[in-house]
Structure 1
Amino acid sequence: MKKAVFFDIDGTLIDCLNGLTDITPRVKRAIRELQTKGNHVFIATGRPYAFLNEALINFGFDGFVLANGAYVKVGDKCIHKEAIEKEVVRELVDKFEELNIEYILQGEEYSYIKDDHKSLHSFYDNYNISKKYLTGEFDLEEIEAYKLEMLCKDQKGIDFCASLGKDRFSYLDNPDGSFELYSKTHSKASGILKVLEFLDIPVENSYAFGDGKNDIEMLSTVGCGIAMGNADDFVKSYAKKVTDTVHNDGVALEIERFIL
């Protein structure tokens, strides 16, 4: 029976903040071996398409679970997409402008960020995000947003962004004052389940690697969730297995000794 294996990006396949900007050769070989044996390999990430570098796009993954499950592709086919309602996006943007919160609207191909959001641009530079699919020219009425990210400059902004998680949204708050906002109906796990249904692969034949808080649902949903050694203990508690760190080829080690 074929298997499906899902990989987070940051802290799992690469670690841009600590100098690892490409998948290591050993991990590449291990993933290729999975495909050679007829299995499927996918990226499952909070990132939108615009945040994928050329190496990830061109590697040859069998598909992508993007924007925490709001946009899902198998091969070249989109099997699921659900944008945030335009009226809701308008209301949020009005409030962001009022509170001087920098923001980005993450779309299907392009993501939309104002040129004067200098701090947020600098934040993405740290992650080697290409400007190729980022644009400051957009009309809120014309675009679809699947996920939002915000960078707050003061406590008032932080309090507002945190309050959005009480109702229809899920959010991740980071120590640097940045937030990721997406619909409660979506997660990496929900996107993975859509892939498994589309490919007719049972959940017990699915695996996922991750290290962050937004990986918890997928680690506890797939047949075997594998936490990276660099994940914190809270995330590890939701996994069935723990491998080595991203810098020590943790993904390759577990593929070689367990999945294959």
Structure 2
Amino acid sequence: MDLSPTDGQWLVALDIDGTLVTYDDVLSDAARHAVAGLRTAGHHVVLASGRSLIAMLPVAAELGIDSGRLVASNGAVTVRLDPTEPGGYALEEVETFDPEPALRLLKEHLPNARYAVEDVGVGFRMNELFPEGELNGEHQVVEFEELWAGEVTRVVVRSPEETSDDFHRLAAHLGLEDVTYAVGWSAWMDLAPFGVSKATALEKVRVALGVAADRTVAVGDGRNDVEMLRWAARGVAMGHADDVVRAAADEVTGTIDEDGVVPVLRSLTPPEGP
């Protein structure tokens, strides 16, 4: 497939943590300039993250992105950035589900875990406070049963006693659908609505923008990026991604410490003249 940088607009979907920014939340000047170059050339840069919307907005601002779409909460929330709107955005798609069955089931097997549900654009309701800095926005501690007072976009489970493998085994044992994992120094599991992923949201964005399917690129490093990498005409895994993520991609770039996203983004614009 010819993916020449001169044949029209690209839709470039970018994960944030471990792709654009380091795990210490640092965005390099090189990555910032590469994103700006794409946007100056008229291409669509769409941040697509497991982060909540309220945690994505500062990254968009740091990148100078104040228009276009953002895909948050692993595809459950899509917004159109617009400086004239309250808060700088308008909600376009919000996918929700009833969290009660999953929460009840998980509580039986992980009685000491911390649980939170997302309130889009506001913050989280949780059964007990999470460590400072792990969740953005307002935090409201409620009784466990109040977590399913209504449908939600996302459930977060934090259980430092479990490993990533433990979460995989538990999800398989319980038969949970659409569970994605993001594990750093603590064990963490996100639950999304059935059938919802970054890929499903990005496909709607692609259609709305009128971008051809063969003009799509995605870069990511986590298990929650697998569907997105398969969706894109050119799916690129970061160099530190595990074997499952690499297998879903068309190619592998450098690690986050090597700013692996930068050469990918630069390859999508014609080289500057002399």
Report whether the alignment pairs 1:180 with 2:190: yes
Residue deviations 1:28-85 (CA, integer Å, cap 9, x gap): 1110010001111111111111333624345333321111111112333433211113
Moved more, 174-183 or 27-36: 174-183
Report whether the alignment pairs 1:3 with 2:22: no
Partner of 2:171 in structure 1? Answer: 162
Q: State TM-score, norm by structure 2.
A: 0.77
Measure, in 1, the Cα distance between the counterparts of 2:233 and 2:220.
14
Measure, in 1, the Cα distance between the counterparts of 2:16 and 2:174.
24
Identity over aligned residues, as a percent? 24
Measure, in 2, the Cα distance between the counterparts of 1:158 and 1:79.
32
Measure, in 2, the Cα distance between the counterparts of 1:153 and 1:31.
35
What root-mean-square deviation, in Å, do the aligned CA atoms of Structure 1 and Structure 2 show?
A: 2.9
Please say if residues 108 and 144 of structure 1, whose CA atoms lie closer than 8 Å, have aligned partners that are also in contact.
no
User: Which residues of 2 match residues 1-260 of structure 1 at below 5 A?
Assistant: 1-16=8-23, 19=24, 21-52=25-56, 54-61=58-65, 62-75=68-81, 76-85=89-98, 89-94=99-104, 99-114=111-126, 116-117=128-129, 121-122=130-131, 125=132, 128-129=133-134, 131-136=136-141, 140=147, 144-152=151-159, 162=171, 166=175, 168-172=177-181, 174=183, 176-258=186-268, 260=270
Measure, in 1, the Cα distance between the counterparts of 2:199 and 2:167.
27
CA-CA distance at 1:149 after TM superposition: 1.0
Residue deviations 1:192-223 (CA, integer Å, cap 9, x gap): 10100110111111111101111111111111
Residue deviations 1:15-35 (CA, integer Å, cap 9, x gap): 22xx3x221101111100100
Measure, in 2, the Cα distance between the counterparts of 1:95 and 1:188.
25
Q: Judging changes above 3 Å, is the alpha-carbon distance between structure 1 residues 159 and 152 closer, same or farther for their aligned structure 2 residues?
A: farther
Number of residues of Structure 1 aligned to a counterpart in Structure 2: 246
Q: Judging changes above 3 Å, is the alpha-carbon distance between structure 1 residues 239 and 94 closer, same or farther for their aligned structure 2 residues?
A: closer
Measure, in 1, the Cα distance between the counterparts of 2:179 and 2:127.
27
Measure, in 2, the Cα distance between the counterparts of 1:30 and 1:198.
24
Q: Judging changes above 3 Å, is the alpha-carbon distance between structure 1 residues 158 and 210 closer, same or farther for their aligned structure 2 residues?
A: closer
Partner of 2:3 in structure 1? Answer: none
CA-CA distance at 1:258 after TM superposition: 4.6
Measure, in 1, the Cα distance between the counterparts of 2:168 and 2:244.
24
In structure 1, the residue corresponding to 2:248 is in which secondary structure?
Answer: coil
Measure, in 2, the Cα distance between the counterparts of 1:13 and 1:229.
13
The amino acid across from 1:70 in the alignment is A
The amino acid across from 1:114 in the alignment is M
The amino acid across from 1:33 in the alignment is G
Q: Judging changes above 3 Å, is the alpha-carbon distance between structure 1 residues 166 and 40 closer, same or farther for their aligned structure 2 residues?
A: same
